[in-house]
Amino acid sequence: MPTAPTPTTMTTDAALIRLLTWLSPAFPTGAYAYSHGLEWAVEAGDVRGEEEARLWLADFLAHGAGRNDAILLRHAHRAEDAAALAGIAELAAAAAASRERQVETLAQGSAFAAAALPWPAPILAALGTERIALPIAVGALAAAQGIAEDAACTGFLHGFCANLVSAAVRLVPLGQNAGLRVLASLETAVLAIAAATRDAGQDDLGGACFRSDIAAMRHETQYTRLFRT
């Protein structure tokens, strides 16, 4: 009688199904409520249309939180025990560039960890569901479920882009077709960042998206807000 796949024998199809489930907009992380500072960028006039949205997203994918989250996810995936994972989780919480950025990643990570309880992950359960950044939760769960690090990283980055494109569609506003064109244009960047972070160490964390960081800080006092960040 065939046996169910174990974490070390996870089939490609089974891994794909789980990734699609966890990184779907329907997975209850509350991602729809966060704009990563994009709401202020729209009000300030930095992002006025499709091309500005594409450039804005590409920049902090390659030089900001997207790249950093990919590195953190990879290290969480490689964590050998709960103590190592806890250290990476603390680093992820401390690395947020502003209060709202920290709220964004911790709230989504905690929601993800709670929603993912049907998929056993003892190393993640040892941390609980409080104050755990989203890339840490995704990386640890993927490892526990036998899903390849590269696949988890690429899927996470695509989900990161998709959530922010959805925010741009509502904020700029962009039409649905324009939003899809932006998302399609980011595919090469997603694959490039996933590849570039494969051998990155924790000392490689950092960024150069200063306008994006300022946008996240300014959003805290923005008068009219549709998003939490």
Which tokens belong to 131? 């104050």
Identify whether 126 is part of a domain. yes
Q: What is the pLDDT of residue 151?
A: 95
Rounded Cα gap, residues 102 and 213, in angstroms = 12
The reply to whether 131 falls in a domain is yes
Does a structural domain hold residue 201?
yes
Question: How many structural domains is the chain composed of?
Answer: 1
One-letter amino acid at 183 equals L
Residue 79 phi, psi (nearest 5):
-60, 130
Query: What's the pLDDT tens digit per position in 146-163?
Result: 999 999 999 999 999 999
What's the mean pLDDT when you consider all of the chain?
Answer: 92
Q: Is the pLDDT of residue 7 over 90?
A: no
Question: What is the token pair recorded at 84?
Answer: 């190592």
Measured distance CA(132)–CA(79) in Å, rounded? 14
CB 147 within 8 A of CB 7: no
* Residue at 3 is within a domain: no
Q: With cut-offs at 50, 70 and 90, classify the pLDDT of residue 11.
A: low
- Which residue type occupies 180? L
Please give the average per-residue pLDDT across 91-115, as a whole number.
Answer: 95
Is 4 part of a structural domain of the chain?
no
Counted residue by residue, the chain has a size of 229
134 is a domain residue: yes
Residue 4 pLDDT grade (very low, low, confident, very high; cuts 50, 70, 90): very low
- Indicate if the pLDDT at residue 3 is higher than 50: no
Read off the CATH number of the domain in which 192 is found: 1.10.4190.10
pLDDT at 131: 85
% of the chain surpassing 90 pLDDT: 87
Residue 6 pLDDT grade (very low, low, confident, very high; cuts 50, 70, 90): very low
Please report where in the chains the tokens 């290290």 appear, as a residue: 75
Residue 10 within any structural domain of the chain: no
Band (pLDDT 50/70/90 cuts) for residue 13 is confident
> For the residues 55-69, what does the mean pLDDT come to?
95
Angle made by CA atoms 78, 21, 5, in degrees to the nearest 5:
60
34 Cβ neighbours under 8 A, 6+ residues apart: 104, 108, 163, 167, 227, 228, 229
Looking at residue 10, what is its pLDDT?
62
72 vs 131, which has greater pLDDT? 72
Evaluate whether residue 158 is within a structural domain. yes
Q: Which amino acid is at 105?
A: T
CB contact at 8 A, 90 and 207? no
Mean pLDDT of the region 160-172: 96
Structural domain containing residue 189:
30-219
Q: Are 171 and 50 in contact (CB under 8 A)?
A: no
